[in-house]
């Protein structure tokens, strides 16, 4: 069991590249923490520092209160599971799981007990005599985890362990890893660039960008209260719509204006988010998740509605994702992440529509959004405007 603390940690690679800047973060004992961000943001570097595989340029890394900056990897009692879960092909599942224990000289009966216990946890009891080649991808993944788990390490580190699996299996393994982590209670740090994994697996999520921690919190808090534009656009699929506008004091309140549309923020919303009232006169970015837009009939549309035309529709089963061309396309802000290529190539609004409502290509509709559910960001600093 371990608490892991990053205290003002920095990492500069030879050549001068600053991969991590002033990272302050406490990973709690027993916690499942997800480290997420786009490629190159420093996730693996942070993980490798915990394992002791990367020198620390600045700050202190502590495990259970002891500074471990100079502690060798083998003395840290930490297990790492990588993307390529190399199993020994000539050994059985039982031998693979027990491998690390044998190497450490644990006695046979104790190894057998540990292997059985681990196999039960991972539901691998029926496969113990098989060789890796006789297993499915998911089962192999479980054996790889079993091998790490059998050692009862202080902490588990996982670097994109599911990226080699197909989508169906990935979904299954997401749930399985989360379940196993809870059962074992071992502090786990899990690196991914996949925001679905980030939203669904961990207790808390640390979002990184360019070597800088952007926000640390529960998946729900990051989704509901993103600290800045980057977190807002990174978390959630399909991605949030971003519109550039201005906050203006008028009509006895505050409204967001862009391209002929005015969205009023009621006294209720302002009471909940006093920062919005103070931001009058500022250039802002409005963030509207695809499920927050409601299509309304053009004739009855209020002045806060955005008129548009359905360019195309993706049928997602329970919902339809409509891509809507709008006249004020110059107010649409391209996403900060690469996760939505469609949005980057054509500035359109993404609107999630219940599949029971009929909508067709070329249809004209007006979109309204509940102001209480619209996120606001300062256009200059990209920080959320809220409190
Ligand atoms: P991530 O895991 O988020 O994709 P990494 O932690 O692997 O990111 O890398 C962060 C940054 O540091 C990247 O820009 C990468 O190119 C750079 N980097 C990683 N390893 C080295 C190295 N050994 N030498 C120099 N630069 C490196």
Each domain of the chain, given as residue ranges in start order, spans 4-234, 241-378
Task: Note the pLDDT tens digit of each residue in 53-106.
Answer: 999 999 999 999 999 999 999 899 998 876 656 789 999 999 999 998 998 889
Is the pTM higher than 0.95? The answer reads no
Task: Note the pLDDT tens digit of each residue in 210-260.
Answer: 999 999 999 999 999 999 999 999 999 888 999 999 999 976 689 999 988
Q: Which atom of ligand 1 approaches the CA of 42 most closely? A: 6
What would the two tokens of residue 135 be? 């297993």
Nearest to 305 by CA among 314, 319, 288, 293: 293
Residue 63 CA to residue 60 CA, distance in Å, equals 10
Contacts of 16 (CB under 8 A, 6+ apart): none
> For residues 145 and 93, is the Cβ–Cβ distance under 8 A?
no
Q: Whose CA is nearest to atom 7 of ligand 1?
A: 44
Task: Note the pLDDT tens digit of each residue in 100-143.
Answer: 899 888 999 999 999 999 998 888 999 999 999 999 888 888 89
45 CA distance to ligand 1 middle (Å): 6
State which CATH number among 3.40.1800.10, 3.40.710.10, 3.40.50.300, 3.40.630.30 fits the domain covering 4-234. 3.40.50.300
Q: Whose CA is nearest to atom 10 of ligand 1?
A: 42
Q: Whose CA is nearest to atom 27 of ligand 1?
A: 13
Farthest CA pair distance, the chain: 79
The answer, yes or no, to whether residue 343 has pLDDT greater than 50, is: no
Q: Whose CA is nearest to atom 26 of ligand 1?
A: 13
Q: Does ligand 1 lie within 6 Å of residue 42's CB atom?
A: yes
241-378 topology per CATH = OB fold (Dihydrolipoamide Acetyltransferase, E2P) (2.40.50)
Pocket test for ligand 1, best of 42, 54, 337 (most atoms within 8 A of CB): 42
Pocket test for ligand 1, best of 40, 206, 208, 214 (most atoms within 8 A of CB): 40
């Amino acid at each position: 069991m371990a608490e892991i603390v990053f205290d003002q940690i920095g990492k500069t690679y030879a050549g001068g590249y600053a991969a991590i800047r002033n990272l302050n973060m406490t990973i709690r004992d027993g916690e499942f923490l997800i480290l997420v961000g786009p490629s190159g943001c420093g996730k693996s570097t942070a993980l490798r520092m915990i394992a002791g595989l990367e020198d620390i340029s600045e700050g202190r890394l502590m495990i259970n209160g002891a500074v471990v900056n100079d502690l060798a990897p083998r003395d840290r009692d930490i297990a790492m599971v990588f993307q390529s879960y190399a199993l020994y092909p000539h050994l059985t599942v039982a031998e693979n799981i027990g491998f690390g224990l044998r190497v450490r000289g644990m006695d046979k009966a104790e190894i057998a007990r540990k292997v059985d216990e681990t196999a039960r946890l991972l539901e691998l009891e029926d496969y113990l005599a098989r060789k890796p080649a006789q297993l499915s991808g998911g089962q192999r993944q479980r054996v790889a985890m079993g091998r790490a788990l059998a050692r009862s390490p202080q902490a588990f580190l996982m670097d994109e362990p599911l990226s080699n699996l197909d989508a169906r299996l990935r979904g299954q393994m997401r749930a399985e890893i989360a379940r196993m982590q809870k059962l074992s209670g071992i502090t786990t740090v899990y690196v991914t660039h996949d925001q679905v994994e980030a939203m669904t697996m961990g207790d808390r999520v640390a979002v990184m960008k360019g070597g800088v921690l952007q926000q640390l919190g529960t998946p729900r808090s990051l989704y509901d209260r993103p600290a800045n534009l980057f977190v807002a656009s990174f978390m959630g699929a399909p991605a949030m719509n971003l519109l550039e506008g201005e906050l203006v004091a008028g009509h006895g309140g505050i409204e967001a204006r862009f391209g002929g549309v005015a969205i009023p923020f009621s006294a209720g919303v302002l009471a909940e988010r006093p920062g919005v009232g103070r931001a009058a006169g500022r250039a802002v970015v409005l963030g509207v998740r695809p499920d927050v837009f409601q299509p309304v009939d053009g004739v009855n549309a209020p002045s806060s509605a955005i008129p548009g035309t359905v360019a195309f529709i993706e049928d997602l089963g329970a919902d339809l994702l409509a891509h809507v061309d709008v006249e004020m396309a110059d107010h649409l802000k391209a996403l900060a992440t690469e996760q939505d290529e469609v949005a980057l190539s054509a500035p359109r609004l993404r609107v999630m529509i219940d599949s029971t409502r009929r909508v067709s290509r070329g249809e004209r509709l007006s979109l309204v959004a509940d102001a209480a559910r619209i996120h606001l960001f300062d256009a200059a600093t990209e920080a959320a405007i809220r409190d």
